[in-house]
Amino acid sequence: MPDLPGIAADSPLHRPLRDVPGIVAHVERQLGKEDIKTVADVLAHLPFRHEDRIRMEGQTFHASETPSCHRVIVMKTGVKFFGPRRGGNFEAVVQHTDANALGQQLTLRWWGMSFMSRVIAEGQELIIHGKIKDWKGRLSMDHPEYEILRGGDDDEAVTIHAGRITPIYRLGGALTQKAVRVAAWHALQVVPEHFIDDLLPQPKADGEFAGWNRSRAIREAHFPTSTESLDTARRYLALEEFYLYQLRVVHRRREVLASGGRSMTGDGSLVDAFIKGLPFALTDAQSRCVKEIKADMASKAPMNRLLHGDVGSGKTVVAFASMLTAVEAGAQAALMAPTQILAEQHARNARKWLEPLGLRVALLTGAKKEDGSGMELWTGDAKPHILIGTHALLHDDRLVHDLGLVVIDEQHKFGVAQRAKLIQQGTAPDVLVMTATPIPRTLTLTIYGDLDVSTIDQRPQTGTKITTAVRSKSKIEDAAKFLREQIEAGRQGYLVYPLIEESDKLDAGAAVKGHKEWGKLLKPHKVGLLHGRMDAEEKDDVMKPFREGDTHALVSTTVIEVGVDVPNATVMYIHDAGRFGLAQLHQLRGRIGRGAHSSYCVLFIDDKDEEAKEHLAIMEETSDGFRIAEEDLRRRGPGNVLGHAQSGQAPLRFAELLADTRLVRTARALAERTFEEDPQLSKPEHLALRPFAFEQREVAKEMMQ
């Protein structure tokens, strides 16, 4: 909700801030520099948190790391100068207004702000908020939030900054909390009680939002009357935001189901032969997903399905079975991966498993081959049945022919436009998108709500246990000794860093420096280096000896997160682990435990970083990727699960509430009901919803008709 959607042309919300009483010119100019120019703009700039400043400390001052709120009277003021070039510090000595107070005094200090002498004067009553310090028995509060209570003995004096649940806003430029707060307060005074139309359907009389509307929710989100009303207001606005998002998702899904596709069915011979030829049996979850996908492909509507599961749950096998279904139906199947390493691994597996069935497999990447092209030489007269590649597939259609199924692996690495370009190379092909990041249920309802979802929630029984531990950096010598022992026993290890090279701005370990350090620690064993700035050929030169066991340890960035499968690697050390999201750590950890030997993952943090230790505790507790993904969503929002190329839309304002399954499901149900009642959103009460549900070109086209 980057603005306040659905505003009528004659609404008072369009009123410029310069015309709002109480907003002074310099504040209006500051807000204007941040593109906040109207009443609607300032009301759409919602607080990101609030502070409870209701409770007044009535009789005593005491030092504390917790901010406190006091009603005081100014006893004395003055400016202290410390040299001609350093300016002056303004001080005001205050005491409580409470008649029963002990007469304690507190010094308020504004460093380098002598001009405050023109603002604060003796005899004024203030409400102040801040941390009290004790220095040699003298109590002080530096740069407090304050409000001057005008009206003398009037206990009903309006307070904006203190004595209430106080909004805290995100700031830009020269803006201050007081400036935004004052603007929001006065903007709310010039609009009527019901100043904006509702977008959500009328709430149930006995439901959570009974008696609520958009106007009330926006008022309470800025200046709540209680903590309960603040919670309800935020949930109301979150539901509205999710509902508007769901309208587009539901519309997109209905369009796909209504579009012309083709039924792809075969005799099952290739799929059966493939499954029987595997050196392992499919899990029940894999078999269920194969059936779900096969049923979708048999439908005349194009398939649009998401396949997700935990690390090592066997998504590739399900994808290959789906691609064979397309081949059985006489069509071609393509698989697009985000990196050359992953594309080449898929191609190796495809050749091992599919070429014995008589299928032609081609690999297309951005790497230069001997003929100067970006694809492996294809000498056959016939087009390949299976086409595997990177984003190079988008730019080279020489091998594309009658594309019936598009599989997109690690789909969150691709933008929406990239996926669409590949899909458009076929005639309404079926689409299967995959991710090795387990996706919480709420995100499959929202961000991926236009997709059917297949979940592999079961791992093969052959998986090796991975022991995970959080350790301080000071234990690195012990860790090196353990890794040397593992290497001498015939194993290999990964050493992961958050950065490629050292940075002045970020206090974090770097792979290039780490490569030199580990080369000494593990001598005489061979240590390789892999990172994202290497070109494809350099990466291959590093990975080949590691896969073959000639390189004993690999120092790397997160480039190994997907597509690296070395069963002999049993140790992973992740440096500055607190800088990674939980879901990403789980993905990295999934690079080990892929063989027959016990595996070990150590997460290194600063010695006294208790916050990181608490953050990473769940990694020691569980290897359940779904539980870890839910926790990551709760703590850090959906960006870590989705990547940044996904939505093509503004970030969700209430993303943290996506962890509330009930709220998300309510939004989805409301969107479904709205389209069932009014498929074209042509009713008067739905017209304001059209820009959110339909693509802009659709809206423009209808306006011209």
CATH match of 466-623 with 3.40.50.970? no
Do 497 and 588 meet the contact criterion of CB atoms below 8 Å apart?
no
Contacts of 172 (CB under 8 A, 6+ apart): 34
CA 697/CA 704 separation, integer angstroms: 11
Contacts of 285 (CB under 8 A, 6+ apart): 309, 313, 455, 456, 457, 458
Long-range contacts of 608-615 (CB under 8 A, 24+ apart): 609/578, 611/578, 612/470, 612/577, 612/578, 613/470, 615/578, 615/582
Domain residue limits, the chain: 55-163, 269-456, 466-623
Do 71 and 127 meet the contact criterion of CB atoms below 8 Å apart?
yes
Q: Does pLDDT of 548 surpass 50?
A: yes
Provide the pLDDT for residue 701: 41
Place of tokens 């991926």: 448
Contacts of 136 (CB under 8 A, 6+ apart): none
Q: Decide whether 269-456 matches 466-623 in CATH topology.
A: yes
This prediction's pTM: 0.69
Do 88 and 75 meet the contact criterion of CB atoms below 8 Å apart?
no
User: From residue 643, how far is each of 409, 563, 616, 638 by CA, in Å?
Assistant: 14, 17, 21, 8
Structure tokens at 365: 């990447």
Per CATH, the homologous superfamily of domain 269-456 is P-loop containing nucleotide triphosphate hydrolases (3.40.50.300)
**For range 173-185, the mean pLDDT:** 88
638-682 pLDDT per residue, tens: 654 554 434 444 567 887 787 788 898 899 999 999 999 999 999
186-237 pLDDT per residue, tens: 999 999 999 999 999 988 888 899 999 999 999 999 999 999 999 999 999 9
**Residue 398, class by beta-carbon neighbours within 10 Å (0-12 exposed, 13-18 middle, 19+ buried)?**
exposed
Provide the pLDDT for residue 249: 86
* Mean pLDDT lowest among 58-67, 292-301, 458-467, 500-509: 500-509
Q: Is 121 helix (H, G, I), strand (E, B) or coil?
A: coil
What CATH class is the domain 55-163? Answer: mainly beta
Return the closest-CA partner of residue 358 out of 270, 420, 264, 230.
270
Structure tokens at 554: 């690999």
CA 376/CA 367 separation, integer angstroms: 9
Q: What's the Rg (C-alpha) of the chain?
A: 31
Average pLDDT across the chain, whole number? 84
CA 393/CA 372 separation, integer angstroms: 16
**For range 389-397, the mean pLDDT:** 75
